[in-house]
Amino acid sequence: MKYKYCDVPEYLDDAYRALKENFKNYDEFENFYSGMHDDDIKNEFLRVSSSYLFFVKNGQWHVDVPRSNPVIDYFSNSFKLVAILAIIESMSSEKHIDFFEWLVKKKNKIPFPIENKSTLQNHYNCYKTDYGSIKKCKKFFEGLTEKTKNEICQLITIDQNPIESIEIFVELLYKSRSEFAHATDISIEIGNWMHFGKYKKKMAVWRHFRLEYLLEIFEEGLISHFNNHSNIKIHNKSLQRKK
């Protein structure tokens, strides 16, 4: 078997289950898939879509504790956020290099020895800008329609003003993911409730940022990404926020 996904017919059905709200019917979905440029792209599309189906869209984190409900929204949402951002990162074609590799690249012209901790921190900040995981996520979310970006900005405020750009949204999202991944702080930013947090020492308020919104946003970005690799273009559905 050359391809793990596109050589197995069941994965095509899984991909449709994951993304069917974005297509008029199965025929349109199949045409979109058939129009992809080569089998490598098809395999990647099925990998990403099936991962999304199992880990996020139709997956739940179950708890087997007597005093607990079996499914708790903010537990599941935390794991789903980690999975979504991991899938996005995995889609990037950029080659990862570690910080030491970056430091010694000739084109960076970094003099050695490095003077002090402050200089080293500045170099690290530059490295994160060039190769940090958040850069991959920002590029993914830049593919959203302007309507969706505007809707997202209205759902989160900083000091009572809507956030100014999709880049700030990604920073907030990534901060929530990192706090859960590295310290098991539950990602309660996402859910049918108001959440009060901080962004650069300012008050950040998530205004009923439902999980279903994040899923719609991710699916729109996914379709946008693979539109670039298919001869059959699908019109992106923008986020339809409930009033």
Spatial strand order in the sheet of 161-162:
161-162, 156-158, 202-207, 194-199
Helix (H, G, I), strand (E, B) or coil at 199: strand
- Specify the pLDDT at position 12: 97
- Specify the pLDDT at position 133: 67
CA 220 – CA 226 distance, rounded (Å): 10
State both tokens at 109. Answer: 């012209």
- Specify the pLDDT at position 129: 62
Tokens 């979310």 sit at which residue? 141
- Specify the pLDDT at position 109: 77
* Averages of pLDDT over each 10 residues, the chain, 243 residues: 90 97 95 95 97 97 95 96 95 70 73 81 71 80 94 96 95 93 93 93 95 96 94 83 67
Ordered alpha helix ranges (H), 99-165: 99-103, 117-131, 133-141, 146-155
- Specify the pLDDT at position 105: 75
Q: What is the crossing angle of helices 166-183 and 133-141, to 10°?
A: 140
* pTM, rounded to two decimals: 0.86
- Specify the pLDDT at position 132: 62
Whether the CB-CB separation of 141 and 174 falls below 8 Å is answered with no
